[in-house]
Amino acid sequence: MKNLPDSFGSLRTRRELGIPQTLARSQAVQRSWPFFLDLVVACIGLAIFYGVVQIARLWLGQPQPNVVLSLSPHALPRYAFYSIVRMGLAYILSLIFAVGYGYIAAYSRRLEALMIAALDILQSIPVLSFLPGVMLAMVALFRTRQLGLELGCIILIFTGQVWNMAFSFYSSLKSLPRELTEASAIYGFSRWQRLLQLELPYAAIGLIWNSMVSVAGGWFFLMACEMFVLGSRDFRLPGLGSYLQTAASEGNTTAILWGLLTMILIIVATDQLLWRPVIAWSDRFKFEQVESSRRVRSPLLSMLQQSNFVRRLGHLTLEPLTERLYRREAKRRSTHPQYDEAGRRAPSTVVRTVAIAAIFVMVGYAAIRALHLLRGIDQHEVLQIFGGAGMTLMRVVIALLLATLWTVPAGVAIGFHPRLARIAQPLAQIAASVPATALFPVLLLLLLKSGAGMGTGAVLLMLLGTQWYILFNVIAGAMAIPNDLKEVARLFHFGTVQRWRTVILPGIFPYLLTGLITASGGAWNASIIAEYFRLKSNTLTTFGLGEQISAATDAGRFAVLLLATIVMALMVVTINRLVWRPLFRIAESKYKLGA
C-alpha cells in the first residue's frame, strides 16, 4: 500500500471521509471558474484597447476623399467594426443627453413647456435636414483630419436616436409614484441621491427598451449617415451602412445578403452580450409589492456577477465614489439646515436675464438669416411643399394605425411571458435593426410588378421603420405593470375584456403614448427615404414632403430644404399640441401608479 500513487490515496481518503468524487470535482470547478471569468474579462479589455488604437489612427489621420468601397465579403469585418464604434459613441452621447434633458424638463417649471416644444420640433426634423449644417461645420472645424467626417456621422446618428430616449426619461419622471417621492423627501435625499437611488432605477425599464429601439433606428438611418450627397460633394465613410447603400444602388443582391447577414450577427451578439444582461439587471427595479416568480434571466450577467475582477472593480471604484458623494451631501445638510431649500432655489435674476437675452439674440439672428434665405422661393414651390405635407400626413396616419393594430397585443404578450420574451425579443431586435432601406429594393420591385405603386411602398417603408417604437414601448409597459395587480386580476377571475380594460390598457397607456409620439416623429423622419429612393441608376419618387426634402438636399437647394423642414416641424408640433399633449396629461394624472 505504501507504493500506491498519491492520487489513489487521496481518493481513498475522500471516500473514507464520505466526500463523493463528483462533489470534489464540482468544488474544483467552482474554484477555477472565477479565474476563467477574470481571464475572459482581461481579454475583452485588451481587445477594446486594440480597437481604440486602430480608431485613433484612422480618425487622427488625413481626410480620405472619394473613398472606394469594396463589395467583397472580406471587407465586411473592418466595415462592421467602424460602424459599431460610430453607433456606440452615438448611443453614449444620446444616453447622456436624454438623462440631462429629461431631468431638466421634468423639474423646471419655467423651462418645461419650452423644452418639450423643442423636443417635439427636434424629433420631427429629418436626419437629412441636420446633415448640411452638421457635416459642413465638422469638416470646416477639422480640415486636416478624418475626425471631422467621423464626428459629423456620429452626430447625425445621434439625431436619429436621442429624442425618444429623452421623452421616455421625461415621461418616467413625470409618472413617479407619489409615495416614493414622499419617502425620498422624508429621508432627506439630495438631488444626486434621488437621481441615483430613485429616478434612474424607476426609469430604467422604459429607458432600456427605448434604447433598444433607438439603436434600431440608428441602424435604419446608418445608410443615409455614412454615404450621402450634398450638392456637388459626395461624402462617404467606410462602414456597413455605406456597404449596404452601395450594394443596393448597384442592385448587387449577393452583397446585400452578405451585408444583412453581418448586420444580423452583430444584432444577435449585441442582444445576448448587452441588452439581455441589462434587461435582467433592470428587472430588480420593477415597482411592485408582490415579487413575480418568473424573472428574466441572463447567463452572461450571472457570469459577470461571479467574476472576482468585476467585484473588485466595483469595490475599488463605484462604491467609494458613491459613498464619498453621499457622505459629502449628508455633511452639507447637517451643517447647513437650509441646504435643500437653497439648493432648489432658482438661479439669480441677473443670470436668468442674461441667459434669456442670449437665447433671444441667437434665435433672432437665426430667424433673420432664415428669412433672408427664404426670399428666393417662389409661390409655386410653396404650394408644392404644403401639398406634399398633406400627402405625407396621410401616409403617416395609415402607418401608425397599421402598426398599433399588431404591436399592442404582441407587446403585451411578450411583456407578460418571460419565456416568450427570451425568444421574441431577440427576433424583434433583429427585425427592428435590419435597415428596411436594404430590403426596400426587393419589396419595391415586387410592389411595382403588382401595380401597387410607390405610394404604397412609402407607407410600407414608414411602417417597417416606425412600428418598433410602439412595440418596444408596449413591451416595457407590460413588464412594468406590478405583479400584485396581475395577481388581483387572477384572484377575482377577471375575464379577457375586463383584464384589458382595468389592468392592461391603463398600465401600458403612458408607454403606448410615448411609443405613438416617437413613432409619429419617426414616420415623418422616415418619409425622406420612403418617398425618394434610388434604385440602380433610377430615382423613384412619390409626391410628398419627404420627397421634396431629399430632392432639395441632393440639388443643394438650401432654401427649399429649410422651408420644407419648417413645415414638417410645424405639422408635427401642431399634432402634438392638439392630439398627443392632451392624452399625455390624461396619462400623467389618471394612469399614474401610486397616484
Residue that is last in its domain, among 243, 268, 288: 288
CA distance 566 to 583: 25
- Non-local (6+) Cβ contacts of 214 within 8 A are 91, 94, 161, 162, 164, 165
194 within domain boundaries: yes
CA distance 24 to 13: 12
CA–CA–CA angle 345, 351, 355 (5° rounding)? 115
User: What does the pLDDT read at residue 548?
Assistant: 86
Q: Are residues 261 and 392 in the same domain?
A: no
pTM of the model: 0.68
358 within domain boundaries: no
The mean pLDDT value for 136-165 works out to 81
Q: Are residues 403 and 531 in the same domain?
A: yes
pLDDT digits (tens, 9 = 90+) for 275-329: 888 887 777 776 655 455 455 566 666 666 665 666 666 556 666 666 666 666 6
User: What does the pLDDT read at residue 93?
Assistant: 92
CA distance 530 to 545: 11
State the amino acid at position 505 in one-letter form.
Answer: L
pLDDT digits (tens, 9 = 90+) for 155-170: 888 887 888 888 888 8
Three-class SS of residue 432? helix
User: What does the pLDDT read at residue 14?
Assistant: 45
Which region, left, alpha or beta, applies to residue 556 given φ > 0 means left and ψ of -120 to 50 means alpha? left
CA distance 178 to 315: 33
CA distance 140 to 265: 36
316 within domain boundaries: no
Residue that is last in its domain, among 234, 264, 288: 288
- The closest alpha carbon to 286, from 460, 108, 476, belongs to 476
263 within domain boundaries: yes
Q: Are residues 221 and 123 in the same domain?
A: yes
Q: Are residues 268 and 386 in the same domain?
A: no
**Winning range, highest mean pLDDT, from 210-214, 400-404, 475-479:** 400-404
Q: Are residues 279 and 386 in the same domain?
A: no
Q: How confident is the model at residue 480 (pLDDT cuts 50, 70, 90)?
A: confident
Burial class (CB in 10 A: 0-12, 13-18, 19+), 196: middle
Cβ atoms within 10 Å, residue 61? 12
CA 389 to chain centre: 27
**Winning range, highest mean pLDDT, from 196-205, 221-230, 535-544:** 196-205
**Winning range, highest mean pLDDT, from 342-346, 408-412, 586-590:** 408-412
User: What does the pLDDT read at residue 232?
Assistant: 61
DSSP letters along 294-313, please?
Answer: -----HHHHHHHH-HHHHHH
The mean pLDDT value for 115-131 works out to 74
478 within domain boundaries: yes
**Winning range, highest mean pLDDT, from 94-98, 110-114, 119-123, 210-214:** 94-98
Burial class (CB in 10 A: 0-12, 13-18, 19+), 240: buried
Q: Are residues 576 and 441 in the same domain?
A: yes
DSSP letters along 124-138, please?
Answer: HS-HHHHHHHHHHHH
Cβ atoms within 10 Å, residue 392? 29
Give residue 107's domain range.
64-288
Three-class SS of residue 16? helix
Alpha helices (H) along 235-347: 240-250, 253-270, 276-282, 299-306, 308-313, 319-335, 339-343
pLDDT digits (tens, 9 = 90+) for 408-438: 999 898 888 877 877 887 777 677 766 666 6
Q: Are residues 282 and 380 in the same domain?
A: no
Q: Is the pLDDT of residue 334 over 70?
A: no
User: What does the pLDDT read at residue 329?
Assistant: 61
User: What does the pLDDT read at residue 475?
Assistant: 87
Q: Are residues 277 and 421 in the same domain?
A: no
Rounded to whole angstroms, the maximal C-alpha distance in the chain is 108
Q: Cell 443643394: give the residue.
A: 556
9-13, 223-227, 413-417, 442-446: lowest mean pLDDT where? 9-13
Angle between helix axes 76-107 and 253-270 (nearest 10 degrees) is 50
The alpha carbons of the chain give a radius of gyration, in whole angstroms, of 27
User: What does the pLDDT read at residue 21?
Assistant: 53
Q: Is the pLDDT of residue 231 over 60?
A: no
User: What does the pLDDT read at residue 9?
Assistant: 44
Helix H or strand E segment including 540: strand 538-541
CA distance 377 to 563: 9
Cβ atoms within 10 Å, residue 64? 13
DSSP letters along 55-114, please?
Answer: HHHHHTS----SPPPP--GGGHHHHHHHHHHHHHHHHHHHHHHHHHHHHHHHH-TTTHHH
Q: Are residues 108 and 243 in the same domain?
A: yes
User: What does the pLDDT read at residue 27?
Assistant: 52
Q: Is the pLDDT of residue 3 over 70?
A: no
Q: Are 533 and 444 in contact, with CB atoms under 8 Å apart?
A: yes
24 within domain boundaries: no
The mean pLDDT value for 92-117 works out to 87
* CATH number, residue 268: 1.10.3720.10
Q: Are 461 and 199 in contact, with CB atoms under 8 Å apart?
A: no
CA distance 163 to 102: 10
% the chain with pLDDT above 70: 72
Residue that is last in its domain, among 261, 288, 315: 288
Q: Is the pLDDT of residue 336 over 60?
A: no
User: What does the pLDDT read at residue 484?
Assistant: 77
User: What does the pLDDT read at residue 253?
Assistant: 79
pLDDT digits (tens, 9 = 90+) for 374-419: 777 778 888 888 898 899 999 999 999 999 999 999 989 888 887 7
Helix H or strand E segment including 227: strand 227-230
Task: Compute the mean pLDDT over every residue in the chain, rounded to the nearest whole number.
Answer: 75
Q: How confident is the model at residue 12 (pLDDT cuts 50, 70, 90)?
A: very low
User: What does the pLDDT read at residue 5?
Assistant: 45
Q: How confident is the model at residue 338 (pLDDT cuts 50, 70, 90)?
A: very low
196 within domain boundaries: yes
User: What does the pLDDT read at residue 4?
Assistant: 43
Three-class SS of residue 544? coil
pLDDT digits (tens, 9 = 90+) for 492-535: 888 888 888 888 888 888 888 888 887 887 788 778 778 887 76
- Non-local (6+) Cβ contacts of 583 within 8 A are 513
- Better-scored residue on pLDDT, 136 or 507: 507
**Winning range, highest mean pLDDT, from 16-20, 132-136, 404-408, 585-589:** 404-408
421 within domain boundaries: yes
Q: Are residues 155 and 262 in the same domain?
A: yes
Q: Are 393 and 524 in contact, with CB atoms under 8 Å apart?
A: no
pLDDT digits (tens, 9 = 90+) for 25-56: 555 545 555 566 667 666 766 777 667 777 77
Q: Are 263 and 219 in contact, with CB atoms under 8 Å apart?
A: yes
User: What does the pLDDT read at residue 402?
Assistant: 92
Give the pairing of strands 532-535 and 538-541. antiparallel
pLDDT digits (tens, 9 = 90+) for 530-569: 888 776 667 778 888 888 888 887 777 778 888 888 888 8
- Non-local (6+) Cβ contacts of 357 within 8 A are none
Q: Is the pLDDT of residue 172 over 90?
A: no
Q: Are residues 142 and 282 in the same domain?
A: yes
* Domains of the chain: total: 2
